[in-house]
Structure 1
């Protein structure tokens, strides 16, 4: 597998344990990808949002891929939508994984060629990253 620089987008209040699982896999030499770790706790319309967006953009510019963890509330997150749209603007390859297949996807992931992992497993996520393309 190629080494991917992956920026992970997820709902920090709901799905942080899945991001931590990816970190554990990343520490394992059998799961060969690296990602930018970030945490946004401010609302997207807060006075801090412009500075946060600048910092996230810099991290995303060093990534080759965006991996979106789709949890129960992800589709309601303005930050996740913004990160997906920023990834498209920057030309990142986009992959996503649903924690549960019944969860609603963020609208920005749909109809643009997102590479989907069919389950939250190491092999399926690696496969989705390997198959990811730039989303139009």
Structure 2
């Protein structure tokens, strides 16, 4: 199976631990998953946001999937909404997958209806979501 190139979208202020867990799983040679760990650390309203948006768009275009980590406050993250909306554009050709940290967490704005969603943050759940991801534009 080919390595999956995955762009990860998450609430940077609340869920960085889960991105770190993905990084640890990525180090395991039995886990055929690759992702870019760069993420914005400035408000989307800042003057630097256009530069960050350009860099994120480039990373999305290099990926095959977007994995949305759905935390407690993800539904209100402006960056996640922007990333999801940008990932839906045809020039990125991304397949959508998501994983909920807790099953009751609310999906972020704009997440496509047919996104493959794992209801627990486990390796098997994420692999399931990625293997069932489809393009949603």
Cα deviation digits, residues 72-126 of structure 1 (max 9, x gap): 1111011001101111112200100010011111121142x10111211111101
| Contact kept in structure 2, 1:91 and 1:135, CA below 8 Å | no
Q: Which runs of 5+ in 2 are unaligned?
A: none
| Contact kept in structure 1, 2:9 and 2:67, CA below 8 Å | yes
Cα deviation digits, residues 24-62 of structure 1 (max 9, x gap): 000001211100111211111110111010010111110
Q: TM-score, normalised by structure 2?
A: 0.94
- Structure 1 segments of 4 or more deviating over 2 A? none
Matched, 1:25 2:25: yes
Match of residue 120 from structure 1: 121
2:21 counterpart SS class: helix
Q: Which has the higher helix share?
A: 1
Match of residue 61 from structure 1: 61
| Contact kept in structure 1, 2:97 and 2:115, CA below 8 Å | yes
Q: Equivalences for 1:35-54 in 2 at 5 Å?
A: 35-54=35-54
Q: Which runs of 5+ in 1 are unaligned?
A: none
| Contact kept in structure 1, 2:112 and 2:136, CA below 8 Å | no
2:97 counterpart SS class: strand
Match of residue 131 from structure 2: 130
Rounded to whole Å, the distance in 2 between the matches of 1:35 and 1:131 is: 17
Q: TM-score, normalised by structure 1?
A: 0.95
Rounded to whole Å, the distance in 2 between the matches of 1:2 and 1:17 is: 26
Equivalenced residues, count = 135
| Contact kept in structure 1, 2:100 and 2:121, CA below 8 Å | yes
Rounded to whole Å, the distance in 2 between the matches of 1:100 and 1:23 is: 20
